[in-house]
């Protein structure tokens, strides 16, 4: 059994902050205020594709993606939730869950690779995070 | 019980062609030769978000995404499989499964919204499809 503590990839750790852990995944918030943008990182080392996970972990990941996506939709009232596992840059498996609304930056195009990140205002970030966690628990 | 035959959204039907059906989903090939680009469409009407599916359908969809992603990786030898459910334009739930390789168009950025689709050469398309279906069954 590998007892090394799980660590998110260095770029993921730089670009996002840990909000909480839910079963399989770390739930992280991207340091980019342009969209309510979450990332789920399964706490498994050396896993690059979803199909590299065990069947149980695949089911857990699906459950957690849908739990978080549903809470994010209710917390934001977004038009559409975008879910994506790309990994072209950061290879460690991670799943983006993003609240999109008509007229947001690059709508209806994707968020990845668009423009430059904008820092969160701390008050806004704390309010968003509190609301999200409340919806995650209800 | 709704006995209306399932029909993919008109834009999905125009932009992709049906390859086969696997349990829950239609497996479709995008009419864009720039990337090996598949789309899974759960045969359910009025479903927009993954979390709108029943828990059993969510599990089926996960199984089918991973089955197709694994086969696509083996069939193409791609660097990374990109999986995404966006739906900002076509609201009917559909999941993209795309084989990405270093140096392909817009690498390492996303495929969505990038440039213009290029038609498949029929011989190439038939060869790719045959290889994919062979890997799906092995």
pLDDT, tens digit, 9 for 90 and up, residues A65-108:
999 999 999 999 999 999 999 999 999 999 999 999 999 999 99
Q: Assess A62–B contact: CB distance below 8 Å, yes or no.
A: yes
Distance from CA of A121 to the nearest CA of B (A): 27
Is A84 close to B86, i.e. CB distance below 8 A?
yes
What topology is assigned to B10-108+116-136 in CATH? HIT family, subunit A (3.30.428)
At residue A22, the pLDDT reads 95
Whether the per-residue pLDDT at A1 is higher than 60: the answer is no
Residue A2 has pLDDT above 90, yes or no: no
Q: For chain A, give the secondary structure using H, E and C.
A: CCCCCCCCCHHHHHHEEEEEEECCEEEEEECCCCCCEEEEEECCCCCCCHHHCCHHHHHHHHHHHHHHHHHHHHHHCCCEEEEEECCCCCCCCCEEEEEECCCCCCCCCCCCCCCCCCCCCHHHHHHHHHHHHHHHCC
Q: For A111-130, how does the pLDDT look when each residue is reduced to its tens digit (9 = 90+)?
A: 999 999 999 999 999 999 99
Q: How is chain B split into domains, by residue range?
A: 10-108+116-136
Instruction: Name which residue leads in pLDDT, A7 or B31.
Output: B31
In this prediction, residue B138 carries a pLDDT of 84
Q: Which residues, other chains included, contact A4 with Cβ-Cβ below 8 Å and sequence gap of 6+?
A: A45
Identify the pLDDT of residue B5: 78
Q: Using a CB–CB cutoff of 8 Å, tell me whether A94 touches chain B.
A: no
The ipTM, to two decimals, is 0.95
State the architecture of A10-105+117-136 in CATH terms: 2-Layer Sandwich (3.30)
How far is CA A24 from each of CA A21, A129, B110, rounded to the nearest angstrom?
A: 8, 20, 26
Share of chain A above pLDDT 70, in %: 98
Dump pLDDT digits (tens) for B55-80: 999 999 999 999 999 999 999 999 99
d(CA B77, CA B75) in angstroms, rounded, equals 6
Question: How many CA atoms lie within 13 Å of B107's alpha carbon, on the beta-carbon side?
Answer: 15
Assess B113–A contact: CB distance below 8 Å, yes or no. yes
- A19, pLDDT greater than 60: yes
Q: Does A107 reach chain B within 8 Å, measured CB to CB?
A: yes
Mean pLDDT for A28-41 is 98
pLDDT value for B4: 73
């Amino acid at each position: 059994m590998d007892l090394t503590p799980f660590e998110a990839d260095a770029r993921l750790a730089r670009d996002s902050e840990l909000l909480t852990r839910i079963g399989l995944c770390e739930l992280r918030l991207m340091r980019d205020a342009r969209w309510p943008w979450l990332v789920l990182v399964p706490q498994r080392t050396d896993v690059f594709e979803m199909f590299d996970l065990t069947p149980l972990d695949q089911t857990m990941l699906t459950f957690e993606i849908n739990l978080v996506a549903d809470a994010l939709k209710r917390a934001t009232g977004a038009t559409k939730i975008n879910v994506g596992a790309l990994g072209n840059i950061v290879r460690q498996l991670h799943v983006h869950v993003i609240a999109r609304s008509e007229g947001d930056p690059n709508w209806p195009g994707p968020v990845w690779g668009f423009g430059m990140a904008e820092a969160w205002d701390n008050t806004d970030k704390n309010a968003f995070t509190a609301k999200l966690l409340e919806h995650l628990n209800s």
